[in-house]
Chains A and B, each alone.
Chain A
């Protein structure tokens, strides 16, 4: 079961633009889709500075405002499941996994 909350934030386009190069957009898009949200339409983004404000606002919402409060993340590599409880993901590995 998965629960999502929105925590509103003042929009900051500069922050999103500066952060974008550090982001794997494809992974963000597929993660969002796995939460049942297909609002990110573009398949890839070449030039963030050329994007309209609407797109930046969308990224802002996904990155800064959406909070998965209940759910789990599965590692694509080792299949470890990281639980999210009360908004706090548990990123600890077991002693056998390190």
Chain B
């Protein structure tokens, strides 16, 4: 059966990755055009799905899908559409004696009421015999106009205000809404507990989908902070665990009542989990340095989902002494051991290698990597033996970007091997100079200007 997926115009580059992951997690029978044949600047994508239930299930997981329509006919013009629709009687004949409603919509455009009426009236040859029922129709017909960016315009084609031209029109029936409603439902600002690096809800849904979160799987966030990703993983049924170098992050301020004010910290992760009704999925939280995780048994986790600190708001740290500092007896009496800086380059390498050990075969690592647009090359994304990259979706902020990297562990590795042998595409001796995300914090604060110019300017 042919279905039209109508997408939200946010996070375009994440769209196909989410679709593919959800197809995998729900084991759906779906085929879509290959990547080269998908125009992300259009809100529309036509796919084949084995059943209507499959389409509903898909809508039940995708945050980037606004709604799904079963297609009866399509055309490059309205005349073309009607001609095709008349040949598709077998698809809609069963509905013409049922109460109905019509919805006429266009991506990026609103269609004036008068034109909408004309469009609807043009379908009268279908000979509807039942009443119109706007509130609870048995069937909701959908007319959807696809408008594509005018390729002759110099406005960014992805931009909402880019001039658009009529491209195609689809006719069919409404199947289901996608999961846009999860965005307000898990809105960070409405949560019992959040901090200044809490991940926004739309992205956390995407991350949970990339992690194939589902009942009976075990997911860990090693930089859990205030727990944003875990709520969604748990919402989709996974058991979750979180850890952080900073225990206060996870605990919040227990005993104190959450005030509901922005920035409120009371309550901690478990109180927010309780509010969302997913507390039972939270197996454990613990304070730990990701570089010193004590787990001795690999192959245990289904996914590692995380947003590592890239150092803009708060840099990555690890337990240890700063260079040139000697250990003093008095350190052992301090509540928190001393820490040293931990560069993003090493952090991501450690994360990938650790995942190759801790994940089950078929398990996934999902994490954000910030990159400098001018210097970025695809090979900057670290890989290692046993791990392969399945998706690399970019969110562009001008001079820098953040990339959601999804990796899959496809085979076990020999962890006694040397680090350089385990790494497949990074030379640890030269990576510092060759990889765009090394020294990211420093590059960020000099606004990504080349180093020489900076020195001259000062």
Residues of A within 8 A of B (CB): 7-10, 12, 14-15, 18-19, 22, 64, 67, 85-96, 98
Partner of B254 from A7, A12, A18, A86 at Cβ < 8 Å: A86
* Given A8-B280, A96-B331, A88 and B251 contact (CB-CB distance below 8 Å): yes
B250 within 8 A of A: yes
Besides A10-B280, A92-B336, A95-B337, 10 other CB < 8 A contacts?
A8-B280, A18-B216, A19-B300, A91-B243, A91-B288, A91-B292, A92-B289, A92-B337, A93-B292, A93-B337
CB distance from A74 to the nearest CB of B (A): 13
A90 touches B286 (CB 8 A): yes
Bound-state CA distance A88–B250 (Å) is: 8
* Cβ of B272 to closest chain A Cβ, rounded Å: 15
Chain A proximity of B283: nearest CB distance (Å):
6
A-chain residues with CB within 8 Å of residue B338 when the two chains form the complex: 95
Q: Is the CB of A90 within 8 A of B216?
A: no
Within 8 A of A (CB), among B286-313: 286-289, 292-294, 297, 299-300
Known: A8-B280, A95-B338. A89 touches B286 (CB 8 A): yes
The reply to whether A22 and B297 form a contact with Cβ atoms under 8 Å apart is yes
B280–A9 CB distance below 8 A: yes
Q: Is there a chain A Cβ closer than 8 Å to B321's Cβ?
A: yes
Tell me, yes or no, whether B357 is within 8 Å of chain A by CB.
no
Q: Contact check: which of A8, A12, A19, A91 meets B287 at CB < 8 Å? A: A91
Q: Compute how far the CA of A98 lies from the CA of B247 in the bound complex, rounded to whole angstroms.
A: 20
Please tell me if B188 contacts chain A, counting CB pairs below 8 Å: no
**Contact residues in B for A90 (Cβ distance below 8 Å):** 247, 286-287
Contact of A98 among B285, B286, B297, B320 (CB under 8 A): B320
Q: Are B239 and A64 in contact (CB under 8 A)?
A: yes
The CA of A16 and the CA of B59, in the complex, are separated in Å by: 31
Residues in A whose Cβ lies below 8 Å from that of B359: none
**Per-residue interface assignment for chain B, residues 301 to 342, with 1 indicating a CB less than 8 Å from any chain A CB and 0 otherwise:** 000000000000000000111000001000110001110000
- Binary contact readout B412-448 vs A (1 if CB under 8 angstroms, 0 otherwise): 0000000000000000000000000000000000000
Please name all residues of chain B whose beta carbon is closer than 8 Å to the beta carbon of A22 when the two chains form the complex. Answer: 297, 299-300
- A7 and B280 form a contact (CB under 8 A): yes
Most buried by B among A18, A67, A91: A91
Task: Determine the distance from Cα of A95 to Cα of B300 in the docked complex, in whole angstroms.
Answer: 28
Are A86 and B292 in touch, CB under 8 angstroms? no
Contact B285 A12 (CB under 8 A): no
* B327 contact set on A, CB distance < 8 A: 95-96
Cα–Cα, bound, A22→B275 (Å): 32
Contact yes or no, A92 B280, CB < 8 A: no
* In the assembled complex, B176 has its CB within 8 A of some CB on chain A: no
Residue of A nearest to B291 (CB): A98
Q: Which of A8, A14, A88 contacts B216 (CB 8 A)?
A: A14
Chain A residue numbers with a CB within 8 Å of B332 are 94, 96
B288 partner, pick from A7, A64, A92, A95, beta carbons under 8 A: A92
Kindly identify, within residues 239 to 279 of chain B, every residue whose CB is under 8 Å from any CB belonging to chain A. Answer: 239, 243, 245, 247, 250-251, 254, 270, 279
In the complex, A86→B247 CA distance in Å? 10
**Which residue of chain A is the closest to B339 with respect to CB atoms?**
A95
Name the residue in A7, A12, A95, A98 with the highest tally of chain B Cβ atoms < 10 Å from its Cβ.
A95
Known contacts being A7-B279, A64-B283, is A91 close to B216, with CB within 8 Å?
Answer: no
B217 closest partner in A (C-beta): A15
The answer to whether A92 touches B287, judged by C-beta atoms less than 8 angstroms apart, is yes
- A88-B285 contact, Cβ under 8 Å, with A95-B327, A95-B338, A96-B332: yes
**Is A94 within 8 A of B331, CB to CB?**
yes
Shortest Cβ gap from A84 to chain B (Å)? 9
B337–A87 CB distance below 8 A = no
A90 to B288, CA, bound (A): 7
A contact residues around B289 at 8 Å (CB) = 92-93
Closest Cβ–Cβ distance, residue B172 to chain A (whole Å) = 38
Write out the residue numbers on chain B whose beta carbons fall within 8 Å of the beta carbon of A85. Answer: 247
A85 vs B247: C-alpha distance in the bound complex, in angstroms?
10
Contact A15 B320 (CB under 8 A): no
